[in-house]
Each structure stands twice: as C-alpha cells, then as structure tokens.
Chain A
Amino acid sequence: MLAGALVLFALVMALLAWAFVKPAAGSRIPVRFWLAGGGLVLPALVLTPLILVAIWSGDRLVLHAGTEVPLRIEITARQWQWDVAYPDAEDGPRASVNLLHIPAGRPVELRITSADVIHSFWVPRLAGKIDAIPGHINTLRLEATVPGIYRGVCAEFCGGGHAGMNFTVEAHDVAAYAAQLARLADSADDGPADTRSAEAAP
C-alpha cells in the first residue's frame, strides 16, 4: 500500500509541476481524459484489487470457528486493569491480572468485555485491536507462533489512567503453559499471586 500510495502521490505532484513548467501543455488533452481517466478508471484499477485482497486477508485474520476448537480465555477490562480468567484450565478455573498467559503455536479465543467504560484490547505484535464494551462480549482470535513476551495496551481512551493501562502477554510452549496456569490463583480476588503490571503507572 505504501508503494502504491507513493506512486500516486508522485504522479499528482509531477502533473502539478508540469503545469507550471510548461504552461498550457495540457490544453490539447481532452477533458474526458482527466475526468474519466483520473476520476473513474484510475481509482477503479487501484481500488478493486485492493478491496479484494483486503476482504480476503481480513477473512483469514478472523480465524474462522470450526477449524479447530480453540482455547477460550475470558478478559474483563476495568478502569484501569485487565482481569484474565482461564475457565478451561485443567485443574479448575484460574485467574491473573494484567498478565495473559497463552500457549504458543495454537489459536486462542479471547472473549473480551468491560466492567465499566469502553476499553480496547491491543497487542500490536499479535493481532489487531478489539474493543471491550460493557454489555457486549467481543471475541478475538490470536496466535503467537513462538514463545515470548508481547506487550499490550489499552487503545481506547478510558479516563485518567488510560496511558498506564498496559499489560503483558506471555506465550509459553504447551508444557510450560500448563505448569504456569497451575501456579496461578483460582480467582483474581485471591491476592497478587501473579499480579505483575507490565509497566507501573507513571
């Protein structure tokens, strides 16, 4: 897209420069060339493939249900923290705050909502963002291909603590993931068993 945009921008600038360098250079060019050519044909040629690719790749990103039963994790945003619940953990539900553990190499389905105002869940390196809206549950499927630590932020303005509402995603390989979950508290209220803020609020 960047290359295409640069080409189009250069085209417009070149035409403008030409108009000043060689006055009346285009006086014999038919009006229709500009209007139909630049206004209809050019956008049609550029936009049609762009839209098709966009829909195709957007569809791929949505990671359709049915391909594989993914792991479900529930996330509740509130001013100004992220509560994570793991209802499917092997030995009973588990919870963490501002820290999301996922297994690497398999898709995870996050069910995201909010307890107060609208927030937006965003891990730039793993997926696009999805809003956390009170009264609604949005699902986001993401997959970390390799284990590692990924930083996440709240992307929707949510009041005074918005800038500090960060979190961390830790992707583990499958064995380490189960062990990690076992170490978590069984509810977020049980104290800071694994409450690590990704970034202390400034």
Chain B
Amino acid sequence: MTDSRATNPSPPSPLRLHKQLDAVWGTPPGWGRLKAVNHNIVGRRFIVTAFVFFVIGGVLAMLIRAQLATPRSAFAGPEIYNQLFTMHGTVMMFLFAIPMFEGLAMYLLPKLLGARDMAFPRLSAYGYWCYLFGGAMLIASLFAGVAPDSGWFMYTPLSSRTHTPGINADVWLLGVTFVEISALSAAIEIIVTILKLRAPGMSLDKMPLFAWYLLVTAFMMLFGFPPLILGSILLETERAFGFPFFDPTRGGDPLLWQHLFWLFGHPEVYIIFLPAAGAVSTILPVLARREIIGYTWIVVAVVALAFLSFGLWVHHMFTVGIPHLALAFFSSASTAVAVPTAIQIFAWIGTLMAGRPQLKVPMLYLLGFFSVFVVGGLTGVMLAIVPFNWQVHDTHFVVAHLHYVLVGGFVFPMLAAAYYWLPHFTGRRPRYDLGVPTFWLIFIGFNLTFLVMHWTGLMGMPRRVYTYAPDAGWTWLNLVSSIGGFMMAMGFALFAADMFLQARFGRRGARNPWNAPTLDWATPTPPPSYNFASLPSVADRAPLAATPDLGVKLAAGNGYLGFVRDGRLETLGVDMVSGRINQVIRLPSPTLLPLVSALATGSFFVALLFKLYTLAPIAFVAAIATLLLWTRTTGARADSGPVAIGHGEAALPQSESPAAPARQAMGLALAADATAYLSLVFGLLFLWVVAPNWPPPELFQPGIAVSALAILGSVVAALAGQQAALPGSLASGTRREGWLALAIAGNGLALIAWVLLLAAVPDPARHGYAASVFALLTYTALHAAFGILFAAYGIRRSRSGFVSAARALDIAVLAPWHSFTLALTGVTLLLLHGLPMAMGS
C-alpha cells in the first residue's frame, strides 16, 4: 500500500474523524436516498414497511372479526371473505413477521458484533426492494378484487387452474416467490455477517446470544424456503402450462404440495419464533440485572430446536390418511420440541429468579410474552397428540393455538424490543407513559379474542367458514372474540402513536439507558452511518460491563480502523471460530444498482403474472445483466499485501484473503440450491411411490451417447473450473483464461446434451412423470448455462486486471459452481436411467 496514512495513522479529533467517516459511509440526501445500501437505513426501511404491512394485515383481521361477530352476517360474502383470510395469513407471515425480524437483524447485528455494516450491503438493499415490490403486488391485487383466495397454504387442487381459473392464485405464487428472494438473500447475508464480520477477539463462545439465535434462524431459512420456492414454481408451471405435478388424474398428487408446503411451513414457525426468543434472551437479563444463566444450554437448545423443526411437518397433515404408526412417530417428535423450548423458558425464569428484575415497560411486554406463549406451547403439546388432533384439526381451536404461539412468541417480544431499542434508533426516551395502557389494551384484547376461541373450536366451529348458523351455539363466543379483537386493534393504534410521539417529542438522553452489556449500546444514539468510529476488540461476553466508557474510547478512534483510507468503506473480517483478525473487508458505496436490479426482477415476475411469455425471458436476462454490473466497482486491480489496521497490526484485503465473505456466500447459496434440487427429486420419487395413475403411459429412455456427452461436458467444466483457481494457473493470464475457456466449452457440450434430451421427453403436460423429468432436465440445463456465463465472467474479470496469483477471489468464488453442476448431472442422469429400469421390472 502506498498511502502513508495507512501505515502510520494518527487519530484525528473525534469530530473530524466523524466527518471523514460520514463523508464516505453516509447516504446522499434527496433522490440519493434511493441509493441507500447502509444497514441503518435499509434495516429501518424493513421495519417500517413490515409495520405498515402489519397494519394492513390487522385491518384484514378486523374485517374477518366484523364478519364473524354475528351469525348469517351480510357484511362479506364468501368471495370477499376467502380473500380476507387468505391475505391476512399471507401478509402476516410473509410480509410482516419475516421482514420485521430481517430488518431488526440488519439494524442490530453489525452493532452487536462490533462491525460497521452487513457483509453484503447491496444485497440488503436489493432484498428490500424485492420485498417492497412483491408485497405491493399482493396488496394491489387486494384493491383490484383479485387477491389470492385459496388460503395462505394454497392447497391444490383448489389452487389449480380448474378450480381457481383467475389470476388470484398466480398473484400469490409469484408475489410470494418474489418476496422470498429477500428472505434467501437475508439468510445468506446474516450467516456470513455473523461468521465473518465480528469484532476482533469475539470468538463464537463470546458471541451475544442474539447472534446465535439469528445464525440458527438464518440457516433454517436457507433450508426451509427452497422447498416452498420450488413448490410454487411447480404449481405456477402447472397453472400456466398444464404440467400435472399435482393433478391426480394425470399422475400428479395434491399431497406433494402439502409435503413441500409444510416442509417449509413448519420450520417457518420457528424461523419466526427464534429471533423473538433471541430478543427475549437479550432484553431479559439486562432488566433482571444479571447475566443470563445457561448460555451453552441455550445455544444447544436452539440448535436442537432447528433440527427438530425439520422433522415435524407431517403434524400439519395428521388427517390426510397417513398410517397411524407413522403419525405416532411425528407425534412424539412434535412433543419433543417441548424440551428445548422448556430449557429456554426455565433459563429465563432462573435468570429472573436469580436477578433483581425491574418492572420497566419492556419487561411488562416480556411478562405478556411468557403468559401468552406458555399457553400456546401447552395447546401445542395437546395438538401433537394424534387422537386429539383428529378432533380439533382445522377448527378454531387451532386458530387460537397458532395465535397464542405467534402473537405470544413473536409480537409480544417484538413490542418489548420496540420499547427496548427505540432509544437506540432515536436517541430519545419516552415522555409519556403510554407503553403501560398500550400493553393492557393489547394483552386483554388478545386474550379476550383468542382464549374463548379455544372453546369455539372445541364446540365444532371449523376454520375458514365465512358464516355460521344462529343455532350452532357459537354466537356469543364469536361476539366476544370480535370485541376483543377490536380492543387489541385500539392497543396497536396506541402503540403506533406512542412510537411516533417518542421518536418526535421524546427527551434526548445519554447512551445506554438500560445499562446493557452488549456492543450495540457502544454506538452513539441515534447511530452514525458507520456505527463505530473505530472498531472494538472484545475479550468477554459483556464488553460494556467490563469497559463502560468503551463507546467514548471508540469514538475517539482508539480501536481498529479509526481512519479513512482512500475514501474506502472498511470493516474487519475475523476467523469464524476464534475471532482472530484475518482480513480487511471493503464494502460498497451507495448505488442505484440494487434498485435497478430489483425493478428488472420485478418486471420478470409481472411479465409471468400477465402471461407475457416473450417479455419474461428478456426481463430475466436484464435482471442477471444488472446483477453482474454490481461487480464493476468491487475488487482491486493491483496486489496490495497486508494493510495497516491500527494498533500496529496489518491484515490482507478481502480480495486477497482465502477467507473472503463472498466464497462462503457461494457455498451457502449452493446449499440452498441443492435443497431446492433435492425437493424436486423428492417430488419425482414421491409421485412414483404415492401418486395414483402410475406407472406413466410412456417411459423416457435417455440415449446413452447423449448422456455420455452430458457427463463428459460436466466433468471437463468441473475440472477446468478447479484448475483455473489453482495458484499456478492464476499466476498467468493466458493459463487461467485458457482453463476458463475450457470450462465454457465443457458446459456448452453439456448444455447441448441437455437440450437434446429435453427435446426427446414425452409431452410433459400428459403425465406427472414426464413433467418431473422435464423439470429435472431444465434445472440441470440452467446450471450448465449459468456455468458458461460465470466462466465468461471470470475471463472478463481476468482481462480487466482484477485477477492475480494473490487476488484469486473472482475465479475461486465461482469454481464450486461447476463442481456442483457436475453433481447435479450425476444425480439427474442416475434418476433418468434408473427410474425406467425400476418401473420396468
């Protein structure tokens, strides 16, 4: 590095340092706000937008309660009512709960970990725009009167073309998939940020519990969302092109949808609960004035919960006719979830008992969480009991249970979090004590609504009925629920008013009003764009308890990277486990590109929605092209070697580090990709074993020569991709570009083979087998096509001077793609050749 400031930085005054840092980290005003990639801004946008969707979902709930308040109500007919409850569930799950915690995670994580931003700020911004546009698409359909109306679970065949001919179901499938892009990108980003962007010295066992919870949650999202995304693509393909994946008359099976949906849907419940539990584990010990007990127990319990949650999905399907022995297994597994949950509950209780808890406003909401969530957990154990489930499944008992779990397990902790962290967002304290009446309105309203609903269900009222007879005996119970619902709505209105008043008129206060030990309270409040003027090093789990004036020291530039180097945005990267510094990570400046890419992605989804199938591929290519444009400002054109980071230490820039965040992100993306592919394989095997009207009328025998060509091409591409990333090849421009050219050729050969095979598949609209084979081939062919693109990209980066023996990142990050494609090739061909043999014999 030639810059002299870098080798011997002298700390300027705190104010000057602030101005220098804010000049590079800040977001421009006015229209420049559209360029925002900073986690402070994007995180806040997620939170505010999610709250707006929460209000919309709440209004829908009020309309539902208005309709059910009296028997034979003339308020809404079934056409309207079915849209209301479908959209209430969809909005609350996909547009409120998940994005709300994503926003909170984005805002808090870098601060808790002692970093200046998330690992991929532009990805945060892209995810936000995808979420906003996808959500807007869904809400627009509501105003147009064509909102999804097949339930938030979209069971086929009700959601198939025959029974929902309109655009309604397409809005759900495409809108939700669009929004899920933001969930997957957030999952990857959260994992990489937690594993790599921590303060020096913060080994995994010194990490705040909140980060552990978010890490586990993000991994669950990584494996939980692909089955839903794949299922949605299959269902949309069935609706658009008649591929009968779920049509029992043509070798499909409606149960396949249920498996794919609940394979996502059950982990989803824990994906929503765990971040909230993380907030509880963070706030509760602070207000109990005692360190939380059982740190290791909690971490193990949370990881166990994550694993268990993937083995429970069948408990949503106890009535579909699965043999009782299999049900007994899933029933036991479902009750077993009570164990890790109980460990957490008792860790919290033990912490309160051992500490000196203060009954401040956030604590009030935590007590609300305890009472509501414990009831939900207990009714959950009841529901896991098969004979009981057969009776109350799909009744209002389940509605009551799930609201106790989700409102208790998510909304109450989020309200506590809002009151706890609002002083951090705004730098202000409450002037009026509205938090207390707000709590009682919400708490009493909630229990009034949903406690009686248990009885409504036990008395036989099914879910999702738009009306009921006066003599059914449910009249007064429903009226009580409706009154409670409106009371709760008033509570939330008061909450919104309280947040606004506090943000606008609250008293300004000093940092760390709660006397919390975590690094988030070491930033100034409200936080500056760069969080920390210099980065802390951490020696234990409670850095602020050990050094209460840490924030002031950091602001004075006494930590790492307390300077601006060449106008760059820099933060530190550490070893995943030990927390030792291993790189300096350069982050991107504000840019319009995420917005542009999201608009292109949105055009793709809108084109599909309106069946403009010529426009859709163009929009797809445009989206990929704009995504590739992101790389124009990343990377370095010269080797730099280790650069100074303060305290006389130095570290490699990430472009030269073998531990660069992008490489881990690629591994995670491939893990999600593999999950989607395996879901497809599961679909084919499931149809073969379970679906009616098998074996298919026509089997597909792939040609030996074409198959060999596919294998040859994939092997060549995988080997060439690996070779290009070896130090020997990287050193020479012609050698590395030669290997990449060979990777293009290999993928090209494979792609030709896949296209030939696709052309030979029997009509995929005739049978689920042909449709699944077609989907498998398309999936694999797309990977070969992207392989060509990625190798070509590598050549372009190499020609532009971004690659050297030291700067391996651009080539190394893409090498696993070709190996992954080879693995797909192997499994696909094995299935295509093996299934006809298995069925023929």
A, B assembled together: yes
Residues of chain A having any CB pair with chain B under 8 Å: 1, 5, 8-9, 12-13, 15-16, 18-20, 23-27, 29, 31, 33-35, 37-40, 42-44, 46-47, 50-51, 54-55, 57-59, 61-62, 79, 116-118, 120, 122, 124, 127-131, 133-136, 138-139, 153-163, 199, 202
Asked if A12 contacts B374 (CB within 8 A), the reply is yes
In the complex, what's the smallest C-beta–C-beta distance from B358 to chain A, in angstroms? 9
Asked if A131 contacts B320 (CB within 8 A), the reply is yes
Kindly list chain A residues whose C-beta atoms are within 8 Å of the C-beta of B357: 19-20, 23
Asked if A24 contacts B464 (CB within 8 A), the reply is no
Asked if A1 contacts B248 (CB within 8 A), the reply is no
B407 at interface (Cβ–Cβ under 8 A)?
no
Q: Known contacts A130-B319, A136-B255: does B339 contact A26 (CB below 8 Å)?
A: no
In the complex, what's the smallest C-beta–C-beta distance from B338 to chain A, in angstroms? 5
Q: Considering the chains assembled together, what is the distance between the CA atoms of A58 and B323 in angstroms?
A: 11
In the complex, what's the smallest C-beta–C-beta distance from B692 to chain A, in angstroms? 4
In the complex, what's the smallest C-beta–C-beta distance from B229 to chain A, in angstroms? 22
Asked if A163 contacts B343 (CB within 8 A), the reply is no
Asked if A18 contacts B353 (CB within 8 A), the reply is yes
Asked if A128 contacts B335 (CB within 8 A), the reply is no
B674 at interface (Cβ–Cβ under 8 A)?
no
Asked if A160 contacts B386 (CB within 8 A), the reply is no
B641 at interface (Cβ–Cβ under 8 A)?
no
Q: Known contacts A39-B301, A130-B321: does B343 contact A116 (CB below 8 Å)?
A: no
Measured CB to CB, the nearest residue on chain A to B163 is A117
Kindly list chain B residues whose C-beta atoms are within 8 Å of the C-beta of A26: 350, 352-354
Kindly list chain A residues whose C-beta atoms are within 8 Å of the C-beta of B379: 5
Q: Considering the chains assembled together, what is the distance between the CA atoms of A33 and B297 in angstroms?
A: 13
Asked if B350 contacts A35 (CB within 8 A), the reply is yes
Measured CB to CB, the nearest residue on chain A to B320 is A131
Partner of A160, one of B78, B460, B468: B78
Q: Known contacts A35-B294, A35-B343: does B335 contact A47 (CB below 8 Å)?
A: yes
| Sampled A-B contacts (18; CB under 8 Å) | A5-B379, A12-B349, A15-B353, A16-B349, A23-B357, A26-B350, A27-B354, A38-B343, A39-B339, A39-B347, A55-B328, A117-B163, A118-B155, A122-B394, A133-B248, A136-B692, A138-B321, A163-B465
B395 at interface (Cβ–Cβ under 8 A)?
yes
Asked if B350 contacts A136 (CB within 8 A), the reply is no
Further contacts, 16 of them, CB under 8 A, given A5-B382, A58-B387: A1-B381, A9-B378, A12-B345, A16-B352, A19-B288, A20-B359, A23-B356, A34-B350, A34-B353, A35-B293, A39-B342, A51-B332, A55-B386, A128-B389, A131-B320, A160-B82
Asked if B469 contacts A162 (CB within 8 A), the reply is no
Asked if A29 contacts B352 (CB within 8 A), the reply is no
Asked if B693 contacts A54 (CB within 8 A), the reply is no
Asked if A8 contacts B359 (CB within 8 A), the reply is no
Kindly list chain A residues whose C-beta atoms are within 8 Å of the C-beta of B255: 133, 136
In the complex, what's the smallest C-beta–C-beta distance from B163 to chain A, in angstroms? 5
Q: Considering the chains assembled together, what is the distance between the CA atoms of A51 and B338 in angstroms?
A: 13
Q: Considering the chains assembled together, what is the distance between the CA atoms of A32 and B320 in angstroms?
A: 42
Asked if A29 contacts B353 (CB within 8 A), the reply is yes
Kindly list chain A residues whose C-beta atoms are within 8 Å of the C-beta of B335: 47, 50-51
In the complex, what's the smallest C-beta–C-beta distance from A114 to chain B, in angstroms? 9
Q: Known contacts A38-B349, A43-B338, A57-B387: does B248 contact A135 (CB below 8 Å)?
A: yes
State which size class the interface on B falls in. 35 or more
Q: Considering the chains assembled together, what is the distance between the CA atoms of A136 and B297 in angstroms?
A: 45
B421 at interface (Cβ–Cβ under 8 A)?
no
Q: Considering the chains assembled together, what is the distance between the CA atoms of A196 and B367 in angstroms?
A: 52
B79 at interface (Cβ–Cβ under 8 A)?
yes
Asked if A40 contacts B343 (CB within 8 A), the reply is yes
Measured CB to CB, the nearest residue on chain A to B297 is A35
Q: Considering the chains assembled together, what is the distance between the CA atoms of A167 and B154 in angstroms?
A: 25
Asked if B375 contacts A61 (CB within 8 A), the reply is no
Asked if B293 contacts A19 (CB within 8 A), the reply is no
Kindly list chain A residues whose C-beta atoms are within 8 Å of the C-beta of B294: 31, 34-35
Contact mask B249-281 → A, CB, 8 Å, 1/0?
Answer: 100011100000000000000000000000000
Measured CB to CB, the nearest residue on chain A to B387 is A58
Measured CB to CB, the nearest residue on chain B to A57 is B387
In the complex, what's the smallest C-beta–C-beta distance from B40 to chain A, in angstroms? 35
B461-491 CB contacts (< 8 Å) to partner A: 462-469
Q: Known contacts A38-B349, A133-B321: does B375 contact A155 (CB below 8 Å)?
A: no
Partner of A43, one of B339, B386, B394: B339
Asked if A31 contacts B381 (CB within 8 A), the reply is no
Q: Considering the chains assembled together, what is the distance between the CA atoms of A118 and B248 in angstroms?
A: 12
B651 at interface (Cβ–Cβ under 8 A)?
no
Kindly list chain B residues whose C-beta atoms are within 8 Å of the C-beta of A12: 345, 349, 370-371, 374
Kindly list chain B residues whose C-beta atoms are within 8 Å of the C-beta of A9: 371, 374-375, 378
B48 at interface (Cβ–Cβ under 8 A)?
no
In the complex, what's the smallest C-beta–C-beta distance from A177 to chain B, in angstroms? 25
Contact mask B430-452 → A, CB, 8 Å, 1/0?
Answer: 00000000000000000000000
Asked if A54 contacts B331 (CB within 8 A), the reply is yes
Q: Considering the chains assembled together, what is the distance between the CA atoms of A54 and B134 in angstroms?
A: 43
Asked if B390 contacts A61 (CB within 8 A), the reply is yes
Kindly list chain A residues whose C-beta atoms are within 8 Å of the C-beta of B460: 124, 153
Asked if B462 contacts A154 (CB within 8 A), the reply is yes
Q: Considering the chains assembled together, what is the distance between the CA atoms of A118 and B160 in angstroms?
A: 12
Kindly list chain A residues whose C-beta atoms are within 8 Å of the C-beta of B78: 160-163
Partner of B691, one of A8, A39, A135: A135
Q: Considering the chains assembled together, what is the distance between the CA atoms of A15 and B342 in angstroms?
A: 14
Contact mask B667-694 → A, CB, 8 Å, 1/0?
Answer: 0000000000000000000000001110
Q: Considering the chains assembled together, what is the distance between the CA atoms of A131 and B204 in angstroms?
A: 47
B151 at interface (Cβ–Cβ under 8 A)?
yes
Contact mask B287-309 → A, CB, 8 Å, 1/0?
Answer: 01000011001000100000000
Kindly list chain B residues whose C-beta atoms are within 8 Å of the C-beta of A122: 394, 462
Kindly list chain A residues whose C-beta atoms are within 8 Å of the C-beta of B293: 31, 34-35
B5 at interface (Cβ–Cβ under 8 A)?
no
